[in-house]
Amino acid sequence: MLEEQQGASKQRNFKNTNIRFSIRMFYVLPPIDTVELIDLLIKAGYTRTAPPTPGRQRGVQFTFTGPIARKGDIIIDVNDERGILGVASPLPASTIHGFNEVLQLIKTTLKVDPESMAEFYELIGQCEVESQISPITKFGQISEKIKLMEEFSKVTGKDTSFFSLRLVPKGEIPNQAEWFDITIEPHLVHATSTYNISVVYRSQDKSKVRKFTEEFLSNVTEILDIIENF
């Protein structure tokens, strides 16, 4: 369990947190041999998690999808067909550190610069957050302030509430490099005490995604404060 955010308006308990930072590369032929990358990661102290591959064959480059190595709580994954390299861990700082470490290994040893081929960078984060205020009750209270819910109640024949809140860029479509999608909803089993949070945040600007990743816990805390103070 993560207990952070000293400067936030409320102390919040984070559970089952997973923070993944990735790069999506654009290329015609894969510039990184993942078999070589796995060997490189093993030498750097990682443990292989990818399935074994047959012996080397001339002119054949194996492709991988999914986790390939881990060190402690840090997991490295790839999708060679889509040009994705990702690093995940329970802590934002560990995720960023692991991503930088892997990129540096690739640059210095494999002589390939993934960032020169970057199409965009992406954060995918999930967590559960405990609250002293019942999430499902709070969403019901907010729904009472939204006149549109009265119309939905007429259709359903019962007082109606929204169950989740989804934040996206106004007027923009998801199928683009600049995008975010933040979903907040009561936990399906522990709806009176816990929120489920999922975040997608991507941009061509690495610094923007990195900043949002570093501030993931405080950003989630601020959003929940806004909801609970409404």
pLDDT digits (tens, 9 = 90+) for 197-215: 999 999 999 999 999 999 9
Q: For the segment 80-97, what is each residue's pLDDT rounded down to a tens digit? A: 999 999 999 999 999 999
Query: How many independent structural domains does the chain possess?
Result: 1
Q: Are 127 and 197 in contact (CB under 8 A)?
A: yes
Which residues form the domain of 15? Answer: 2-228
User: What pLDDT is attached to residue 57?
Assistant: 52
pTM, full prediction: 0.90
Closest CA to 217 of 126, 134, 132, 135: 126
User: What pLDDT is attached to residue 4?
Assistant: 43
CA atoms within 13 A on the CB side of 68: 25
Q: For the segment 164-196, what is each residue's pLDDT rounded down to a tens digit? A: 999 999 999 999 999 999 999 999 999 999 999
Place of tokens 């936990």: 187
CA atoms within 13 A on the CB side of 28: 0
Q: For the segment 12-60, what is each residue's pLDDT rounded down to a tens digit? A: 999 999 999 999 999 988 889 999 999 999 999 999 998 876 545 545 5
Burial of 3 (0-12, 13-18, 19+ CB in 10 A): exposed
Percent of residues in the chain assigned helix, strand, coil, to nearest 5: 30, 30, 35
% of the chain at pLDDT higher than 90: 84
Q: Which two tokens stand for residue 162?
A: 């929204």
* Whole-number Å distance between alpha carbons of 108 and 42: 16
Q: Which residues contact 198 (CB under 8 A, 6 or more apart)?
A: 125, 126, 181, 182, 183
Q: DSSP letter string over 96-131? A: HHHHHHHHHHIIIII---GGGGEEEEEEEEEEEEE-
CA atoms within 13 A on the CB side of 1: 6
Q: Which two tokens stand for residue 133?
A: 């205020």
User: What pLDDT is attached to residue 10?
Assistant: 67
Q: DSSP letter string over 154-223? A: HHHTS------EEE--TT--SSSSSEEEEEEEE-SSSTTTEEEEEEEEEES-HHHHHHHHHTHHHHHHHH
Q: Are 151 and 58 in contact (CB under 8 A)?
A: no
Q: For the segment 119-141, what is each residue's pLDDT rounded down to a tens digit? A: 999 999 999 999 999 999 999 99
